[in-house]
Every structure is written in structure tokens, then in C-alpha cells.
Structure 1
């Protein structure tokens, strides 16, 4: 194990100098009081050196080792960071404060005997950088100590995949197996009708109760159960931060997009559907279609890797084609023309599109500015920015209205129950009677 060279502390230096000075002066001047004053200080220093030799720490202390509990936690979850050194050594650690991160102890500084445990709570998704960590190791008597700076550790906080309070039905199921009820009949568990036996029907589906009552062979006909493919399109072209008066915990458009994406992915992956992700920006990489808990982990990890500090402007990506009948959930603040144009392309390809509005509700709200006094020079420059956003929100209403007139539902993200009315209306529209052309 690597050793860190220890140095004498200020207390050790003072004890040796004061003890030697008192002892020499006491002998030269014949003052017994000075001798009695210097002996305890020298005895303490001698004991510290002896203990250091007995414990084999002449070269120094073992280098501290930081061991994180979990490298990946959910948003709002807690993990621990353990710093281990030599047994019996006084160990202290200090970690710089990070935004949207809570430490226990509160200010990220604590000490212990040979091992300390710092608890870390990630209040928001993303990459939490813990460190660099300043450590101090000293012996039990405080005579020798060493300091070291450990590199920062990165903990990944994945967005919390809340459960949507919404039905799992989709407008157009595509596939061969799943839990969505199809309009066509075939192998499944949902009873369609009881009819007379035909050539090719399976024997295990014979309804013996009806057969014995009618005297003719009858069988149970069922609906085919199908899965579907869900495509989540995220708009990370720009991150719209909330208004200053919204509070420190108010989510930005990127926060709302990530949380909505995680909730939708978990909702349909639990139902056995195939879920994929496509990002119009460059913060989240594309995730191919997959099913099951593994796909949910892949999606949440991809969302957690999105960099908040990546402000470089790049050309938006474009999705060229999509399979007809695919359920597409677009999470966008509906401000960039490329994102709005992509919605039109998806609709033209025959996809069932739902738009989740992720613009922070505080953007464009000028109610907190009402009655605010004007400056003495007659200007109120601090009001121009909110009023500009209010005008931009008014212009955006025409975009939302045009999308709804084109048959694309638009709903604001307000939590797990946001998509319930839209998905329920799609489910009702799917089962509604249709006019048959002759």
C-alpha cells in the first residue's frame, strides 16, 4: 500500500521547543518549577514518537482510499462515500459543495477514527461530481499528520422513472405478441365470440358446454394480442431555464423532457412494448428499440449522461422515416422550427404522434411583475425579459392550435398524470365505431 510521508504538527513542534527550553533554563537557573513544566511536554513528545515506531509508521500513513457505495442512484436517492485509512488514525475529509446535491454532514466535512462515511443525496438527475476530496490523517495524539487530495468521483443520478397514471392501450398495435388487443381475430386470451367449429380450428378451444347444449361442435374465437413500438423523440436543442421567481427547485425544459421520457419509457416497457429513443439535439444519444428491464436501464443511463453544461450550437438531427402505426411521443418546448417540422414529418409517415409540452410554466408569466414600481428615470429594464417571453408564448399558441387542428394532441407535462387524458382519448377513439365504405 502506498505510504504518505507524515510531518510533525505544530503542537509537536511547540511541545519539543517549549519542553527543551524549560528544561535547560530550569537546570541553568536552578528553578525546579521550570523543570517540572518541561518534563510533561517532552514526555508527551517521546510517547508520540514511541507509538509511531511501535505501530510501524516511521515512513508515514497509508494513503486514504475513497470507496463509493453506488455509482448509479435514482433522482432523489442517497449513496455513501467511505474514506478508509489506518485503524486508530484520526481521519478527516472535506468535499466542496455541489449544486443540487445534499451532503450529510451538511457542509461535506467530517472526521472519524480510521474511517469516515459521507452520505450524498442527488436532488436532480445527471452526473454528480464529488470532489476533489481534501483528506487529513493524523495519529491519535495529534503529533504527526499528512494531507492528500484525492481526485473527484462521478456518481450518476438517473431520472426517477415515475409510474404514469394512464392506460397502456395504443391506437395501432403492430407486432405478433403482446398485451394490446387487436381488431383481428387469432390466437389470444380475449374472447371474441363462440361460433361453430370450422376446419383448422384448434381442438383445445372447443366449447364443450355449448356443444353439449346445441348438439353441434362449437369453438371459442379470440382476439389477437399484439405489442407495439413506441418511439420517444426528445427536443434538447435548447434548455429553457425557468423564471427567477419560480424557485431553486423549479425544473427547466431539459428536466421536464428527461423526466417525461423516463416515465413514458417505464410505462410502455412494463407493458411489454418495444421502446426506442431519438434526440433532435446532441445531448442524448439515440437508443435502439428494446424491451424489458434492461432496456429501461439503458434508457435511464443514456438520459443521465446528458450534459447540462454542453451549450455548443449544433445542427439538429432529423428522423428520416418511421414505421407506420408507431406510437411517437415527442417531448419538446415547441420553440424551435426544426422540432415543429419533425412533428409534421412523423405525422406524414403515418405515426400516431403525441406531443408533451415541456416549456416551464413560469416562462411568459408576468403576474409576479404586476404592480412593481418603475425606476426614477422612468425605465423598468428588468421587466423587458419576462414580457418578451410572454409575447413568445402568445406566438407559440398558434403552433399548438395548428397541431391540435391537424389531429396531434398536445399536453403539458405536469407529472405522472399528464398523459392520462390523451392516452384515454386515443384508446376510446380506437374502439369507437367507424363508418364502413361500400
Structure 2
């Protein structure tokens, strides 16, 4: 992997940032003691013995470094990276100096959600027609180091250690750069940092060492894995102009609504000749207009529960919420509907409704910044504004129902006449702590209270269903569509 061009230094400057090592101090001290002792004692052999130390130190310091090393991090992901996919990055160190770097110690931090299991130095890219060098770590004589940890290094389990945690050692000639390539697997969605990376360099035969040069981290975007989701039921109410859903309004569409007498403005291709000949009067086939729908996915970010184990482990509330949102958005955007996102929390972040492939990529990018934010106030005014929720929109609320304010929000949406579907994102394997005496009893009481709250929501007309991937919302959407088309009885 080629890094940026490292310019070759031409004019010597003061060696700022470089310090003598203990080896230089010992060499100067030993040569000085031998010379002083030889002069005072009149012994030529001591002077001859001190000559190699003095000449060797002077020869090593004949060309002093004039610049510090350059360190940078590059991400090798060209396309979108999804949970469970292969992630690659490179930590590069360049030598812009006029002397070779005899020893370079390179180390980089990597997010625990990026499990690096392969790391090694690639072949150098020479700069300004400089030499090409193959650098290897001190642990092995081969250019590439391949290691497999004994356990899966996930933050949830705490087992194993990333191979990127250890330091790597190489040498860099003047005007060249060396790349430490990191390869592994992305365990969880989000923006995960690679770095900061630091390097220290020893030159002049190990007599001079540089200060640590630290580079800024690079964040790798990992999109959530889309769980399979299909909803075959019709939308409660279609509101757009064109789309895949059949509305109750007559217009140009593919759903037959009946046959009526020809009128002004009717198209000739709509004439039903069989009925017209039988009735001896022109009749046309009436159709229902095809309309798109607006889907609002409301994310409850007031509370978090469970422990995330990554793409192959247990899912927390936030994991289920983000992955389910990506699946729902992908399904409805693929059908031509408009999808918008809204957070129920203190920030009340919002993504405007839109349709198409670009909106799906925007949804994935928006989900990377979803965070749990506890708040003491009730964010009602930020959510229930008429400019945020359309009266014809289907509102899918992803909530763990851990906060009483979430239940009150659902009840308020139902009383306002919205088409609301609540998706329970609480993990099923959630267990109480076992180090307390009354923990299990309190956990059972909390479960009973939560079931009572879900029952009250259903009495208010809010269907509550647990997220289970494909077909999770079919039955609920069928009931909501039936309620939307049912005649309403008005009281006097």
C-alpha cells in the first residue's frame, strides 16, 4: 500500500526533537575516562584502548538527523463496510531525513470493535528513486506476520487480545516509507477509530533517538447489517402522488375500481367495449390511483439494556434498534416509499423524508451517530410537531419500553389519530444480576409491571410486537390497515 510522497531533506537544520541515548553517554564516558587515565598515568595502551570508542562515536555522529519521522494512517476500504466484513488499514512511517533510520518502533491503537488478526510490514514504496527495502518485524524473519488469537477478541466477552496491541519494529532508509498493514474483521456498526499511532526512531548507530511522533486517528465507518425483513401487507393510508400502494382515491393506476359511464376528460383507451355494446352507451373502466406512503421510524434513545457482543454475539437494545431501522428503511425504500427517521430523546435528531437509493445510504450514515442519551425532561414538543409527523404517515416506534415516558409518548400518538406500531427491542435473554439477594424478585416484579404497561398500550390501540426479522410486522400492519379503512362512528 503506497503512502504519500516523503520529501527528501536537502538543507541540514538543528536536530530538534532528538535526544542522546544511554549508549552515547556510556561511549563518551568510557572514552573520556580512558583518555584521562592514559594522560595522567602516562600509559599509551589506555589511549589506544579509548581510540576505537572515540572514533566510532565520532563516525556514527558524522551525519546527524535533521527532521522527525512522519506517521500517517490510511484506510483501505474503497466500498461500504458492513458488520462482519473484512477491514483493512495501514499505518505508515516515512523518512524525510538525510540519514537512514536504523530502528523504528511503531505502535497503533485500534478500536476493540475492529478485531485485527493479521498485521505485517508490506514492501516499501521508494521515494525520489530511493532504494526499495523489505522490512520485517523482530518476531519473525518473514515480511508478513500472520497470527490467530486463541479466542474471539470481542469487548463483550473480554477474551483475547488484538495483535495490533504489540509494537512492531523495522528500519526505514532515507527518502522511503514503510507500511504496516492491518487486516481483520469489523464486529459492530459505528465509527471506529484506527489510531492514534506513534513511532520512535533510533539512528546514528543507536546513539540518537527521536521523541514520539503521534498521528491523528482515522475513523472507519461500519454500517449495520441489515436483518431480513419483508412486510407484504398494504399501508394504512397512502399519501403521495405515485407509488406502489393502492389508495382509495380514483385515478390512473392498475387496480380496477369499477365501470362507469363515459364522461368528459376520460381517455379513449379506458373504454370498456363489451359493457358499452351491451348497454348501448359508452362506459369506461375506473381505476384507483397508485400512491406512495411515508414511513416514520421513531427511535427511542432514552435507555439502553443488554450487552453488545458484536455481529456474532448478543444484541443490546441499541443494536436491535439500529439494525431493525436499517431493515425497515431498506424494505420501504425499495418499494418506492418515503422514509424519515426521528430520535425520541433530548437531541431529537431528524432525517427528512425522501425516497430512493440515495436516501438509503443517507439512512445508514445517519444511524452511525445514534447514541443513548438519558434526559430528565420530556421531549414531547420536539417530537409531536406537525412539521415532523404527517397525519397520513405510518409511525414505527422502536422502543425497549424501559422508560415510562416512552409509553406515554405512544399513548399520545394513538390519541392523536396516528397510525402507530410499537416494536419491542428489549433483549429476550436479559437476566437480573445474581450478586444481590432480592434481585430476582425485583426483576420479576419489574417484568409484571412492564407486561401491564404493554397491555394498557394495546387497550389504547397501540399494537406492540417483538422484532423478529422477516414478517415481524405483517400481522400488525394488517390490523392497522383494517382499522384505517373501517368506518368511524361519530357521536352527537
Same fold by TM (over 0.5)?
yes
2:291 aligned to 215, 220, 226, which one? 226
CA change 1:268–1:199 in 2 (3 A) is: same
Q: 2:196 maps to what in 1?
A: 132
Q: 1:258 maps to what in 2?
A: 322
TM-score computed with the length of structure 2 as normaliser: 0.67
CA distance in 1, matches of 2:57, 2:276: 102
CA distance in 2, matches of 1:418, 1:157: 26
CA distance in 2, matches of 1:46, 1:8: 13
Question: How many Å apart are 1:272 and its aligned residue?
Answer: 1.9
Kept after mapping to 1: 8 A contact 2:340/2:354: yes
2:428 aligned to 361, 366, 369, which one? 361
Q: 2:115 maps to what in 1?
A: 102
Question: How many Å apart are 1:431 and its aligned residue?
Answer: 11
Residue 63, structure 1, aligned to residue 70, structure 2: yes
CA change 1:243–1:300 in 2 (3 A) is: closer
Question: How many Å apart are 1:357 and its aligned residue?
Answer: 0.5
Tell me the C-alpha RMSD between the 2 structures: 4.6
1:425 aligned to 467, 478, 487, which one? 478
Q: 1:184 maps to what in 2?
A: 249
CA distance in 2, matches of 1:241, 1:158: 21
Q: 1:282 maps to what in 2?
A: 346
Question: How many Å apart are 1:356 and its aligned residue?
Answer: 0.5
Q: 2:456 maps to what in 1?
A: 402
TM-score computed with the length of structure 1 as normaliser: 0.74
CA change 1:42–1:157 in 2 (3 A) is: farther
Q: Does 199-208 or 339-348 show the bigger shift?
A: 199-208
Q: 2:145 maps to what in 1?
A: none
CA distance in 2, matches of 1:252, 1:266: 21
CA distance in 2, matches of 1:339, 1:272: 30
CA change 1:79–1:272 in 2 (3 A) is: farther
Question: How many Å apart are 1:392 and its aligned residue?
Answer: 0.6
- What whole-Å deviation, never above 9, does each CA across 1:305-328 have from its counterpart, x for those lacking one? 2345x5564543443354333201
Q: 1:93 maps to what in 2?
A: 106
Question: How many Å apart are 1:221 and its aligned residue?
Answer: 3.8
Question: How many Å apart are 1:46 and its aligned residue?
Answer: 7.5
SS in 2 for 1:279: strand
CA distance in 2, matches of 1:323, 1:436: 20
CA change 1:101–1:283 in 2 (3 A) is: farther
- What whole-Å deviation, never above 9, does each CA across 1:300-351 have from its counterpart, x for those lacking one? 333322345x556454344335433320101111132221111112112222
Residue 346, structure 1, aligned to residue 409, structure 2: no
Correspondence 1:199-218 to 2 at 5 A: 199-206=264-271
Q: 2:12 maps to what in 1?
A: none
SS in 1 for 2:164: coil
Question: How many Å apart are 1:180 and its aligned residue?
Answer: 0.9
Q: Does 351-360 or 121-130 show the bigger shift?
A: 121-130
Question: How many Å apart are 1:225 and its aligned residue?
Answer: 0.7
Kept after mapping to 2: 8 A contact 1:346/1:353: yes
CA distance in 1, matches of 2:463, 2:344: 20
Segments of 5+ residues of structure 1 without an aligned counterpart are 370-380
SS in 1 for 2:436: helix
CA distance in 1, matches of 2:276, 2:51: 111
CA distance in 1, matches of 2:106, 2:238: 56
Kept after mapping to 2: 8 A contact 1:233/1:330: yes
CA change 1:266–1:236 in 2 (3 A) is: same
Kept after mapping to 2: 8 A contact 1:174/1:228: yes
CA distance in 1, matches of 2:195, 2:65: 29
Question: How many Å apart are 1:354 and its aligned residue?
Answer: 0.7
Greater helix share, 1 or 2? 1
CA change 1:248–1:44 in 2 (3 A) is: farther
